A and B are shown apart, each in its own frame.
Chain A
Amino acid sequence: MLVTFSYKAPQSREQLLDMIATGESDSKLLAGGTDLLVNIRNGVYRPKMVVDLKKIPGVDAITWDKKTGLKIGPAVTINEILTDANIRQHYPLLCSCARDLASFQIRNRATVVGNIVNASPCSDMAPALLCLDATVLIESKQGKREVPIAEFFTGVKRTALKPNEMVTSLHIPADKAGVRGVYRKLKRIQGHDLGIVGVAVANVGKGARIGVSSSAPTPVVTPLLPLSLSLPEVIEAVNVIIHPISDVRCSKEYRTFMVGEYTKRLWKEVIS
Chain B
Amino acid sequence: MKKGIFVFLILFISLPLYAEFSKGKIGVDVNYPGLGVRYFFTDKISAELKGQFEKDIGVYGLRGYYYFKPGEKLSLLSGLECDYVSFEGDESEGSGFAVELFVGGEYFFAKNISLQMDMGPAFIALNDKDTDESVGGVEYVVNIGINYYFGKGR
| A and B: interacting chains | no
